[in-house]
Structure 1
């Protein structure tokens, strides 16, 4: 696996602090699994703190009594002095840093070094790392770039991408924060200038009306029908690869979709030439949950959960259909282009 991330560095001359991105161009880490002969499985039962530690190098100095141990770098009290010296040298070398004490902190992660590839006898699959949830993020962002821009449109088209969803979203950049409502508030305030003949005064009432007239398509990858574990999905309501996005419904409210939002998005699909699938979560199971309920409940906005199907969720390499990124883009573009028209049909 490759290590990459961001490094906080201070300029020793000016004192200015900057963030620099770093990426090691070769695999420097591996989490060695334990052979099944020992009777200790690596399929979810291993301890993440003590039994899933990546190895990034060897230290056999204990075999040589006269070997001098590596000394900490950066000086006493520095961040670098708390890190493995070889790793400090490697990161500093990648960034052209000579004074290790100027490294104030870093945030590094491991990721699969193998590039994505197509697979299957007809090349109908994509095998790749980090499909969750760069798949929906890419499709939604590309849809925004290609959405229509008509002068008579009266809506704001927006795609919001959040971090930290897998750990609860309760950080500044997470969906449970107020970044999205504040951004929308600033946009509405900028567009509402009372000095230019506006009949509405900006304030909580106007924002409430804005939220009430909006629609949120909460998007995260969802579980495709699994040929080896058919019991995990509800028969007849399980999405297939290379067909279309899935509207996700959970009776336990881990999804925000309801009958009205499903009808709205089915109408969008009809206008866009898309096929909407259904993913009904079994009552004796639970979904992983999405940011949809937290955002829709915080803003009071109509919403639905929509997912592009995939297999091997949360695996280091997952699987989706080779057509699915494009099908997702087609649906999201259809929503951005047709939401205003569909909304008016509900108020005629």
Structure 2
């Protein structure tokens, strides 16, 4: 796979994945096409050497792995982790708001959303809906309106003269998107709109909408940016970019070594869920794969937690440590925090540097300023739960947690090349 092919495929993946459920569905289709076999957690598993498998939990988290041709207990597993969720605006259970003939939907802020960029964007809506179908069966279906269906208009500067110097956003009152205009006598329920969309998109006749998890998203698709197309802009680069890189790495490995990709939901809200990194999903898969030898297998293994890093912004260079300001398009970033906000240690960092140097590829290091707080990833959670040596790494980006983020066009492909080599490396430690 070449650089241009990689990025064009990435753009398709991003556009097809407006929610964690859609991202997992997209990954599942690619795994199926490559011969990976689905595993049902409710059933017995019979795993064969040299095969590919995957398990899905809640439709929004996935663990995919190759069993390899060697004894997993003594050879270990080369693991890569990422997360499927991104900060966004989620529709509330009783969302209908009617004001002066405008039909709006109440929203709840999910994760650490950078709120101001959500104004004046063309918004669409997607997610999972649980319904009672015509046969009386409860089932889930995914929907994606695809076209712009809503907008959050800014208040004109004439009505807010302090907007450019002192504007704050009230998530309760300022963020409900405008969906349409309706007569004063209108009694349309949001569930009615969902029934129409389900019938149109899925051809499914239903008796009742029983529940949903729906998110607004930027209807503008991913694209290259810059006079020389140096950058790639999209929603959800944090962290679907890492999911894509990890998936492509797993698909392109030789299959001789045991290799695994885990993409968890709910990282942006702390990872404490049945399918989050603080939950038992990955550990359960490993127990069923490795059996009583799980502890020995983990001692031979390593995890690379891939989650984007803060690139040094040319307008805000003082926000970085002067010796640790990653530059876009100059390589993936090894993330270091001695207070264990990142799980990197000298050993795991050394292995990444060694592989990267062998391939002649660039790498950088990030340490947060000593007078600023540090974010975190699934890396420390997975390391703590499993006891596995872990590295935190990521592609440098701008505008993290904005509705539209930016990365260098070269860095994703660089990380892919290193992770692919890592996943098929005969010896980790």
Indicate whether the TM-score tops 0.5: yes
For 1:125-182, what per-residue CA distance to the aligned partner results, in whole angstroms no more than 9, with x for missing partners? 11111111111111111011111233xx4xx200100111111111111111010011
The whole-number CA distance in structure 2 between the counterparts of 1:36 and 1:218 is: 43
TM-score calculated relative to the size of structure 2: 0.67
Equivalent pairs, count: 305
Counterpart of 1:187? 289
Distance (whole Å) between structure 1 residues aligned to residue 198 and residue 167 of structure 2: 31
CA–CA distance in structure 2, aligned partners of residues 44 and 264 of structure 1: 46
Partner of 1:76: none
2:354 is the counterpart of 1:267:
yes
- Asked whether the equivalents of residues 251 and 281 of structure 1 are also in contact (C-alpha less than 8 Å), the reply is no
After superposition, the Cα gap between the structure-2 partners of 1:57 and 1:8, relative to the gap in structure 1 and judged at 3 Å, is: same
**Mapped contact 2:245–2:416 kept (Cα < 8 A):** yes
2:316 to 224, 229, 234: 229
Task: Give the Cα separation in 2 of the matches to 1:44 and 1:158.
Answer: 46
Describe how 1:251-262 pairs up with structure 2 within 5 A: 251-262=338-349
In structure 2, runs of 5+ residues without a counterpart are 1-122
Structure 1, gaps ≥5 residues long: 62-68, 73-80, 190-201, 344-348
Distance 1:234 1:10, change over 3 A: same
Answer whether contact 1:268 1:342 (CA < 8 A) is retained. Answer: no
2:152 is the alignment partner of 1:31: yes
Aligned match for 2:227, one of 115, 121, 124: 121
State TM-score, norm by structure 1. Answer: 0.81
Structure ID, larger Rg? 1
Following superposition, the deviation at residue 71 of structure 1 comes to: 3.7
How far did residue 86 of structure 1 move?
Answer: 4.4
Conservation of the 8 A alpha-carbon contact between 2:131 and 2:208: yes
Cα pair distance change 1:106/1:84, threshold 3 Å: closer
SS for the counterpart of 2:343 is coil
Distance in structure 2 (CA, Å) of the matches to 1:218 and 1:54: 35
The structure with the largest strand share of the pair is 2
- Once the two structures are superposed, residues 178-202 of structure 1 have per-residue CA deviations (whole angstroms, 9 ceiling, x without a partner) of 100111111112xxxxxxxxxxxx2
Counterpart position of 2:427: 341
Shift in alpha-carbon separation, 1:250–1:210, aligned structure 2, 3 A: same
2:305–2:379 Cα contact (<8 Å) kept: yes
* 1:40 Cα deviation from its structure 2 partner: 5.0
Match in the other structure for 1:17: 138
Q: Determine helix, strand or coil for the equivalent of 1:274.
A: coil
CA distance in 2, matches of 1:118, 1:301: 37
Cα displacement (A) at 1:217: 0.5
The residue aligned with 1:177 is: 279
Q: Residue 343 of structure 2 contacts residue 383 of structure 2 at CA under 8 Å; is this kept in 1?
A: yes
CA contact (8 A) 2:356 2:418 kept: yes
Quote the offset at 1:3 in angstroms: 0.6
Whole-Å Cα distance in 2 between the matches of residues 44 and 6 of structure 1? 34
> Do the aligned partners of 1:267 and 1:342 also contact (CA within 8 Å) in 2?
no
